[in-house]
Structure 1
Amino acid sequence: MPDPGLTLEGISIRRNGRLLVDISDHIAPGEVLTVMGPSGSGKSTLLSYIIGTLDSAFVAQGRVVLNGSDITDLAPEARHVGILFQDELLFPHLSVGENLAFGLRAEVKGRAARAERINAALADIGLDGFANRDPDTLSGGQKARVALMRMLLSEPKALLLDEPFSRLDTERRGQIRSLVFGQARAKGLPVLLVTHDHADAEAAEGRVHRLE
């Protein structure tokens, strides 16, 4: 039986001959691995390699294995890896519900079935009745919750976090951290968090890998 979870197998990434990333690790379902380092140390570069969008200026080797399947050479959309960024990246011309619908898998067919899934998702993040709201009317914490749920509705098999809490104030940061980690554990997703914030690493309650 293959190991469930996300395996980083001998991954090294260089630019102009300089080694930026050197990591081998396994993240079990529901576990969080935190990668820490200063700006420019290669944290986001590692995430780009995992999701398949690494710039050709970098030279990389090593395998990304998800639930026993090698996804290293798959197209980004075929990897089933979700990612949250610092910015929520909600579509301003779409309502909150339409933003969530963008994340729904094609297998969810029919207007009624899709609306039911969206309303249940909003209730799950404490935004019941927000489907018709304009994203611009939401607070930063509410936007973060919508971005999280849009990504989860795509049913990823692993979750990457690219400093998604850094733009939130202290109170909202704690709430959104708890929500993100709680949802990931409930769904059994392996999580890779990159951050320079020690409080993020402590909240993740997992192992820490440091990039120099």
Structure 2
Amino acid sequence: MEKIPTLFVRDFSARPAYVLPEVSPGCEWVINGQGEATRKYDGTCVMLDAAERWWARREVKPGKTPPPSYVTISTDEETGKTVGWEPVAQSAFAKVHAEAVKNTATAKTGTYELLGPKINRNPDGFAAHTLVPHGWAPVSVRQDLATAPRDYDGLCEWLHARPYEGIVWHHPDGRMVKIKARDFPSPEPTTDPDAG
């Protein structure tokens, strides 16, 4: 899976590196209303390939040696990190992934988010480890995602008001673009001058 571009340009000169109100080149189609919004879950990406082998997404920092059998997908020019796949059986997620496979009714070729109690502090509160196909969400969440604005200020406010990690837009031609709530600075608290 290629690294999905972020909707807005990131300011790498600042820490944290929040996004700026400038659309990333090639992502204008989202602002123009194209593509379907899907929920971005806060887990880890895994893939079942056509040979029924499971892989875990892995980033390798510059200067570090990739793990055995690592398949490189791309290298980020800004950070120097290499993105690729390693066999899930040798990954740090092997045990919880095995549990998730048992807990998931059917797995078809494709990418999934591995979620559960031992993944990223389990922000969605899953009781057991599970695999959620990318692009899937309950009807109520899909209806909510359809209301997401597509401008900088609107998305900042909308995402900070919800429990979602972020949004991934899927274009009919296969392109994808993402944005996460943490890409934006937290909104300033509003004060009521009449309160008190």
**TM-score bracket for this pair, using the shorter chain length:** under 0.3
Q: Which has the larger radius of gyration?
A: 2
- TM-score, length-scaled by structure 2: 0.27
- Relative to total residues, which structure has the larger helix share, 1 or 2? 1
Identify which of structures 1 and 2 has the higher relative contact order when contacts are C-alpha pairs closer than 8 Å and 6+ apart: 1
